[in-house]
Chains A and B, each alone.
Chain A
Amino acid sequence: MGQQIVLGQYVPGSSFLHSLDPRTKLISAILLMILSLSSMSAVSLSVLALVVLGLMLLSRLKIGLILRTIRPIMLLLLFAFLFNLFTGKGEIIFSYGFIVIREDGLVRAIKILVRLVLLVLSTSILITLTTTPILIADAIESLLSPLKRLRFPVHEISMMMSIALRFIPTLLDEMQKIMKAQSSRGADYDTGNALKRARGFVSILVPLFISSFRRADDLATAMEARCYRGGKNRTRLKVIKYSRLDLLFAAMMILTAVAVYALPIVFPGL
């Protein structure tokens, strides 16, 4: 009872970023991702860093909350940093025994670090923190809708995504319940060797699968009873709309892209 399962990391709010069309945010996030992966010059990265800083302010979220999204990839960051640090040629700036750090290695390591951090921050600010999962699903449906002409099941895929989003908390609840029930019968999921533990999970997964199939069956009947006939002629309560704010934001993004690609040409030395 009472235990709330928070899906994704959406933080409710009414900022400029929250109110943008999810399609704008999705495309912008993809654009920023490409930009941060493809640019290697310091000036481009600085521009991107400024833009991400601007997004942070626009989201009106607590800085700590945003920075926390880096935590899951800490290990990856560390690994990427160290890997680049010890490679490369050029002037040796530090050496101790077999540890040798060269200048271009250090620069590359820092740049890689900055690129990855910018990538994670821009996606989490634009997508996970300010957009509900269901809006993301809607945005994907809308962006993929041209594929309908090619008989690609766009509506079905988006319906599947939204049903999955709806049932994840329910199934998590159920999994906890089954674990408790089996623990009461003496099942032990914390000790024993890998094989024993893997067999223990059978006692959770089998009931979970069986109940999921039953739920799926019930849900299909309930959907039919409410006149569901697929995507044909279906209207939507919430239609995602493009506004002037989206145009403004898109313009800013295009400017960013231009700046990121043009500045290294203008200032090749940096």
Chain B
Amino acid sequence: MEARFECEIDKIETGVLLQDISFTYDLGLPQETKALSNINLEVRAGQHVAVLGHNGSGKSTLAHLINALLLPQEGNIVIFGREPSDDEAIWEIRCRSGMVFQNPDNQIIGTTLEEDVAFGPENLGLPQSELRQRVDFALEQVGLTELAQRPPHTLSGGQKQKLAIAGILAMEPSCLILDEATAMLDPASRNDFMDLVLRLRAERELTVINITHNMEEVLLADYIYVVHNGKIALHGTASDIFDQAELIRSMGLDVPVHIEIAGEIARLTGQPLQAAEAFSLVDAIQAVNCRLSDPPQARSGLTKNREAGQTFSPSTHDEFPERKTLVRVRGLSYTYNPDLEQSVKALSDLSLDIYEGEFLGIAGHSGSGKSTFIQHLNGLIRPEPGVVEVMGLDVSVKKNIRKVREHLGLLFQYPEQQLFEETVAADIAFGPKQMGLSPAEIELRVREAAELTGLEPALLDRSPFDLSGGQMRRVAIAGILAMKPDILVLDEPTAGLDPAGRDELLNYIQRLQEKGQTIVMISHDMDQLAGLCDRILVLKDGVKYLLGTPAEVFETEEAIVSAGLAMPRTKIFLEQLSKIDPSIRTDIFTPKEAARELYCHYQAGGEA
């Protein structure tokens, strides 16, 4: 082992090498927390490595160590031939590697794009002519040249992250570290951002270290490290890693949909997947097809009949017209800054009913009017022109607003940022208190809401700021639920959570719906919407573009793509398979159900 590392130090002198690294926050203090222990990791120059792990696994600490923003307490670290032993070396390491952070806003320093890009090179003390040249080049590389003089707060999230890349490129680094850089971006901007990273890596021979929990990004890497509870739990190529799908899931991480389906089929047929067999979508389809079209002895072992498939046929929604209408929207339009030249039409002529007990999903590209629409629902924006009625109350009448907000609970993105009370219980009680309920009633509601969102009673007396991100978000949701709204409106409730936190939250949301709660949810994740919702509204440039059941909305790919969205991944998989066998159903949206359906389909087909 020793010898192997020694010879590799020579070989990879220009890469990143971590040997037996341990790091503890607040070392020696009562609140000390061990973040990393005995980490061994190596990245060759020019390699693209993904570091995967749930929130709090220590992966961000790892990123900070690689950029010498933190120094290890134990172990050796060599970054492009330099050890962070003194100030000069630390400085040099930071010059060699640039880092894109998670929150786009909190890493922009300049008051114009140009000045922000110049910040790094200015710190290097470069002469002015060189600064100018580097800034222009970097902005051009990321396609922001035209916006050079604009103030950064006018950019979209995706543009801000590209600006962060430009700021790093201008320092001419060898290594690009992405610390969950895409976590706050919508899917379209995320793809755009990763395309840019891949292009720059190829053109400029950059080493890329991507710290993420997004599975599609992981598949782009040459090599993967999985961090779990401060240790490297697994490492290898994508096929090595996803060979152990169960283990990955047990660590609170996702498995790509096609691998999940292929794995499930392999389990049902009793023919395990071979390494590398189900790595790409094409491979996975191949693997599934070869197991199903030629089912050997397995058929007798696992008998399941065709009827099983019928249990998850899409529910029919003919009953909707009989349901009670809770929200009525007619002819709603809205324009931002109507007096100014740069007025933006956010909504035009939108009409819609929301029925009792339904789960309505809202999808649309960024700027399609989703957020503007839901702000009309509780009167934060007055409809003009148009009508919005909640439980028969017109929201444009000022004296109705209070009642409307009791009937319709609206939760914004990143709602944990609205917490402010000293204890969790007090924060949940804020809404009910404003409603003027009795103290006994308030206490009862707080306890109920905490239970519905899975917050243990012991947490109620703690400060909300001591909780984890996922828990804080559930406190915020409980704060709305305690008002017992008839309609719960959620704006991207799972944004920024890791897969485990996301699944947990969705579970609670689903349980609420089973109890008859009417829910409206905005999401960028089409798999999520397709799997959970009764109906989906797709907005495009402020216009109602599609409205119907998941099966109806996702019927044609062209329509979805032209709305700037992607098809659900399970659906994509089934569509591909149906090219081989047109009789395969394609209106299924969860990987598990798809695998069962496929299995039953071929069983029936084989017997017929």
Q: For A219, give the chain B residue with the smallest CB separation.
A: B106
A217-238 contact mask (Cβ, 8 Å, vs B): 1 or 0: 0110111111111000111111
Binding site secondary structure of chain B: helix
User: What's the tally of chain A residues with a CB closer than 8 Å to chain B?
Assistant: 54
Stretch in A23-31, A67-75, A177-185 with 4+ CB within 8 Å of B:
A177-185
Contacts of B326 in A (CB 8 A): none
B142-177 residues with Cβ-Cβ distance < 8 A to A are 151-154, 167-168, 171
Q: Chain B residues with Cβ under 8 A from A2's Cβ? A: 336-337, 344, 346, 367
Determine if A185 and B125 form an interchain contact, defined as CB atoms under 8 angstroms apart: no
Given A188-B434, A237-B131, A178:B380 Cβ within 8 A: no
Given contacts A218-B107, A226-B123, contact A134 B112 (CB under 8 A): yes
Q: Is A255 an interface residue (CB 8 A)?
A: no
> Do the beta carbons of A237 and B122 come within 8 Å of each other?
yes
The residue in chain B whose Cβ has the minimal distance to the Cβ of A239 is B128
Contact across chains for B434 and A235 when beta carbons are under 8 A apart: no
A3, A5, A185, A229: the one contacting B479 at CB < 8 Å is A185
Contact B405 A186 (CB under 8 A): yes
Determine the distance from Cα of A3 to Cα of B340 in the docked complex, in whole angstroms.
Answer: 11
Is there a chain A Cβ closer than 8 Å to B508's Cβ?
Answer: no
* CB neighbours of A182 from chain B (8 A): 418, 430
- The complex places the Cα of A184 from the Cα of B490 at a distance, in Å, of 12
- Name the distance in Å between B278's Cβ and chain A's nearest Cβ: 38
Contact with A along B469-505 (1 / 0, CB 8 A): 0000000000110010000000000000000000000
Q: Is A195 an interface residue (CB 8 A)?
A: no
On whether the beta carbons of B91 and A184 are closer than 8 Å, the reply is no
- Does A162 belong to the interface (CB within 8 Å)? yes
One digit per residue, 1 when the CB lies within 8 angstroms of any chain A CB and 0 when it does not, for chain B 66-82 equals 01010000000000000
Asked whether B434 lies within 8 Å of A187 as measured between CB atoms, the reply is: yes
A225 touches B480 (CB 8 A): no
Please tell me the size bucket of the interface on B: 35 or more
| Chain B, residue nearest A204 (CB) | B420
With A1-B372, A184-B380, A235-B122 given, is the CB distance from A169 to B107 under 8 Å? no
Q: Is the pair A183, B106 in contact by a Cβ cutoff of 8 Å? A: no
In the complex, the answer to whether A185 meets B483 with C-beta atoms within 8 Å is yes
Nearest A-chain residue to B70, judged by Cβ: A221
Contacts of B110 in A (CB 8 A): 162, 166
**Is the pair B106, A226 in contact by a Cβ cutoff of 8 Å?**
no
**Given contact pairs A166-B109, A227-B95, A237 touches B115 in the complex (Cβ within 8 A):** yes
- Interface membership of chain B positions 387-427, coded 1 if the CB is closer than 8 angstroms to chain A and 0 otherwise: 00000000000000010011001111001011110000000
Complex CA–CA separation, A163 to B67 (angstroms)? 23
Interface positions, chain A 118-162, Cβ under 8 Å from B, are 132-134, 162
- Asked if B336 and A3 make an inter-chain contact with CB atoms under 8 angstroms apart, the answer reads yes
| A206, closest chain B residue (CB) | B420
Q: Of residues A132, A188, A221, which shows the largest number of chain B Cβ atoms within 10 Å of its Cβ? A: A221
A102 shortest CB reach to chain B, Å = 47
Question: Which of A132, A170, A207, A229 makes the CB contact (< 8 A) with B418?
Answer: A207
Chain A-chain B contacts (Cβ-Cβ < 8 Å), number: 171
Query: Which of the residues B128, B131, B480 comes within 8 Å of A185, measured between beta carbons?
Result: B480
- Contacting residues, chain B, for A222 (C-beta < 8 A): 99, 101, 106-107, 109
Contact, CB under 8 Å: A177 / B412:
yes
In the complex, whether B19 has a CB less than 8 A from a CB of chain A is no
Q: Does B264 contact A (CB under 8 A)?
A: no
A186-B434, A234-B125 in contact; A218/B98 too (CB < 8 A)? no
Chain B residues 565-602 with CB under 8 Å of chain A are none
Smallest CB-CB separation from A135: which chain B residue? B111
CB pair A235–B105 under 8 Å, yes or no, is no
Query: Chain B contacts of A224 at CB under 8 A?
Result: 69, 94
Bound CA–CA A239/B94 (angstroms) = 26
User: What is the 8 Å Cβ interface bit string for chain B, positions 116-148, against chain A (1 contact, 0 not)?
Assistant: 001111111111100110010000000000000
Contact with B along A73-86 (1 / 0, CB 8 A): 00000000000000
Contact present for B417 and A183 (CB under 8 Å) = no
Residues in B neighbouring A219, C-beta threshold 8 A? 106-107, 109
Inside 8 A of B154's CB, which chain A residues have their CB? 4
One of B375, B431, B465 near A210 (C-beta < 8 A): B465
Q: Does A165 contact B (CB under 8 A)?
A: yes
Distance to closest chain B CB from A157 (angstroms): 16
Q: Which residues of A contact B342 (CB under 8 A)?
A: 4
Q: Inside 8 A of A227's CB, which chain B residues have their CB?
A: 91, 94-95, 120, 123-124, 171
B325 contact set on A, CB distance < 8 A = none
B residues near A163, Cβ cutoff 8 Å = 109
The residues in A between 169 and 221 inclusive whose CB is less than 8 angstroms from any CB of B are 169-170, 173-174, 177-178, 180-188, 202-203, 206-207, 210-211, 214-215, 218-219, 221
Which residues of the partner chain A approach B171 to less than 8 Å between Cβ atoms? 226-227
User: Is B108 in contact with chain A by the CB < 8 A criterion?
Assistant: yes
Q: Does residue B37 face the partner (Cβ distance < 8 Å to A)? A: no
Query: What is the bound-complex CA distance between A201 and B115, given in angstroms?
Result: 35
Is B378 in the interface zone, CB < 8 Å from A? yes
Contact residue among A162, A188, A215, A233 (Cβ-Cβ distance under 8 Å from B125): A233
Q: Judging by beta carbons under 8 Å apart, are A166 and B103 in contact? A: no
B371 interface residue per 8 A CB criterion: yes
Q: Given contacts A185-B480, A227-B123, are A236 and B128 in contact (CB under 8 A)? A: yes
Do B109 and A238 touch (CB < 8 A)? Answer: no
Chain A CB within 8 A of B247 CB: no
Q: Indicate whether B260 reaches chain A with its CB closer than 8 angstroms.
A: no
Bound-state CA distance A177–B491 (Å) is 13
B409 and A184: CB pair below 8 A?
yes
Contacts of B435 in A (CB 8 A): 186
Closest to A6 in B: B151
Tell me which residues across on chain B come within 8 A of A203, comparing CB atoms. Answer: 420, 430
Asked if A238 and B115 sit within 8 Å, CB to CB, the answer is: yes
B114 within 8 A of A: yes
Are B412 and A235 within 8 A (Cβ)?
Answer: no
Most B C-beta atoms less than 10 A away, residue of A133, A184, A214: A184
Q: Which residues of B contact A226 (CB under 8 A)?
A: 94, 98, 109, 119-120, 123, 167-168, 171
Residues of chain B contacted by A184 (CB below 8 angstroms): 378, 380, 405, 409-412, 480
Chain B residues in 8 Å Cβ range of A238: 115, 118
Across-interface contacts of A235 in B (CB, < 8 A): 122, 125-128, 131
With A and B bound together, what is the CA distance between A186 and B430 in angstroms? 8
In the bound complex, residues from chain A placing their C-beta under 8 Å from that of B406 are 186
Chain B residues near A186 (CB-CB < 8 A): 402, 405-406, 430-431, 434-435, 483
Kindly report which residue of chain B lies nearest to residue A164, judged by CB atoms.
B111
**Identity of the chain A residue whose Cβ is nearest the Cβ of B480 in the assembled complex:** A185
Cross-chain contact A166 with B108 (CB below 8 angstroms): yes
* Docked-complex contact A183 and B405, CB < 8 angstroms: yes
Q: When chains A and B are docked, how far (Å) is the Cα of A4 from the Cα of B95?
A: 35
Instruction: Determine if B153 and A180 form an interchain contact, defined as CB atoms under 8 angstroms apart.
Output: no
Residues from chain A with Cβ under 8 Å of B378 in the complex: 184
Asked whether, in the complex, the Cβ of A237 is within 8 Å of the Cβ of B123, the reply is no
CA distance A2 to B430 in the complex (A): 30
Pick from A169, A214, A221: contact of B69, CB under 8 Å: A221
Expressed in whole angstroms, the Cα–Cα distance for A225 and B411 within the complex equals 35
Q: Could you list some 25 contacts between A and B, CB below 8 A? A: A1-B344, A2-B336, A2-B344, A133-B111, A134-B112, A162-B110, A163-B109, A166-B152, A169-B153, A180-B412, A184-B405, A185-B418, A185-B483, A207-B417, A207-B419, A210-B420, A214-B106, A215-B106, A228-B119, A229-B91, A236-B131, A237-B128, A238-B115, A238-B118, A239-B128
Contacts beyond the supplied A2-B336, A174-B417: 4 A-B pairs with Cβ under 8 Å: A166-B151, A177-B417, A187-B434, A218-B101
The 5 closest A-B pairs by CB, nearest first: A186-B434, A218-B106, A206-B420, A237-B118, A222-B107
